[in-house]
Amino acid sequence: MKFILASDIHSNLPALEAFFSYLTSHGLSGEPVFFLGDYVNLGPFPEETVSLLKTYPAQVFLSGNHDRYIINEHALDHNPYFGSPEGVTHCRWTREQLSPQSIEWLKNLHTRHRFEALSWKCDLIHGRHGSDEETLDESKIDTTSRILYICGHTHVPRNQTVGKARIFNPGSLGKPLDRDNRASFGIVHLTEDDATFEIVRIPYDIERSVKALEDRKVPWRGGIIQSLRTAVYTDEE
C-alpha cells in the first residue's frame, strides 16, 4: 500500500495548487493524503489556502505551531520562536485575512494521529511529541517496534531508520529550507516487511507568491521572499 504526506504549506497557494495538479496528472489523486500542519503564516494567501484545503478529502489534517499562533493570541506572548516584533505583526495580519469559518477549521484540528497499516504502527505529529516547535529526537522514540514516526515542521526531508522504527518527514510544500526551492512532498510505500519513502519535488510559480507578498504588503515579507527563492532560512523572518 502507499499513502502521501504533505506539510508546511504556509499560505503558499501556488505551491498547493501545483501539488494537487501533480497528484491528478500522475494518477495519485485517489491515494490517501495526510497533512501534517502549518497551513498558514509566512505566505500571502492564508484564506485562499485554507479554503482550498477545506474542499479536499484528506485522511487527516493535523495542526502545526503556526496554526496554533493564529487561533491562540496568547501563543504570541513572549514567544522565542519569533526573532522580531514583526513576526507577531505578521501573525496578526494572517489572522485578519482569515474568515471566521477558516479560523474555526484551524481550531478543530488535532495535534496527533495514529493508525495501523499492514504490520506497521503509524504515529503522525507536526514536530515532536509534546512540542510543535521542536523536531523529533530519535533518541526518545521506541526503536524496538515497527513504528513509522511521521513529522513535519523542519521544512527539510528526512528518511531515517532507527532500529526497527522509521522517521519520515516530507519537507515543505510551501517553503522548503533545504536549498531546493521546489515544493516537496513524500510518498510512503509499505509492505509487511519494509517501509520506503520517496521524496517528490515539484516546480511551481514562486514569483506569483512573491508578487502577492509585495502587492498585499504582507508584514515580514523581505525575509519570506528571500527564503522562497533560495530555500534557505533567514533570521529576517
pTM over 0.75, yes/no: yes
What is the homologous superfamily of the domain 2-112+172-230 according to CATH?
Metallo-dependent phosphatases (3.60.21.10)
- Report the alpha-carbon distance of residue 115 to residue 137 in Å, rounded: 21
Residues 25-70 have pLDDT tens digits of 999 999 999 999 999 999 999 999 999 999 999 999 999 999 999 9
Among 156, 120, 116, smallest CA distance to 136 is for 156
Residues 93-123 have pLDDT tens digits of 999 999 999 999 999 999 999 999 999 999 9
The pLDDT-based confidence of 75 (bands split at 50, 70, 90) is confident
Q: What's the first-to-final CA gap in the chain, in angstroms? A: 39
Domain ranges of the chain: 2-112+172-230
- Report the alpha-carbon distance of residue 69 to residue 230 in Å, rounded: 25
pLDDT > 90? residue 79: no
- Report the alpha-carbon distance of residue 226 to residue 205 in Å, rounded: 15
